[in-house]
Chains A and B, each alone.
Chain A
Amino acid sequence: GNSVTQMEGPVTLSEEAFLTINCTYTATGYPSLFWYVQYPGEGLQLLLKATKADDKGSNKGFEATYRKETTSFHLEKGSVQVSDSAVYFCALKLSGNTPLVFGKGTRLSVIA
């Protein structure tokens, strides 16, 4: 089946530290890949996406590259801020009438 595996959290970093959240996937076809972010008490927001191999999605200083050879879509940011504290979800979607498949989420806490 289709699934997404994310690194277990929580992740605690100091402000301005480098962030990596690992995400790997298993899919029966060629999925599009997404990172969503959920701030405390809010719904999910799309952070970035990539629709084909070697695409790089980027937004708000976050980046992720679609690596077909390693079936990965790791999220990175060079210098995190306290305001980045949230839960991050990696997700995939195949074409057709298929749903988003989410990983279990990784909680990030950034301390000043």
Chain B
Amino acid sequence: DTAVSQTPKYLVTQMGNDKSIKCEQNLGHDTMYWYKQDSKKFLKIMFSYNNKELIINETVPNRFSPKSPDKAHLNLHINSLELGDSAVYFCASSQGQRGVYEQYFGPGTRLTVT
């Protein structure tokens, strides 16, 4: 009964490929997020969706496209992968966005681009 799950856990691919990471939450939350954690452990928000609507879109290359088919899912598609995309990507969810609701994080997807 994992609260926030991500697939795959590990992803190794070559430059130029297109790949997707999936995220699902079973907490009934209405807000979901994607974060990127670089090799130095620095965490930065990429996107936030509230009720399937894009709320936050930080300075992220447009090769990254989030898609939220419903409130429980937020997928991340990455086109034309580059070496610098190698990182751990975390999905998170919360009940609400405007307040100080706790964010629940998934286990992460380690992406390695060779």
Contact = CB atoms under 8 A, between A and B. Distances in A.
Range, interface on chain B: 20 to 34
Contacts of B103: 44, 46, 100
A99 B48 contact: yes
**B41, B45, B92, B99 — which one has the most chain A CB atoms within 10 A of its CB?**
B41
A46 B41 CA distance: 17
Interface residues of A, number: 25
A43 B108 contact: yes
Nearest to A107: B41
Given A49-B100, A97-B98, A99-B58, A43 B41 contact: no
Interface of B: 4, 33, 40-45, 48, 50, 55-56, 58, 90, 92, 97-100, 102-103, 105-108
Closest A-B pairs by Cβ, 10 of them: A43-B105, A99-B45, A32-B100, A102-B43, A105-B41, A44-B105, A43-B107, A46-B102, A97-B55, A104-B42
Interface of A: 32, 36, 38, 41-46, 49, 51, 87, 89, 93, 95-102, 104-105, 107
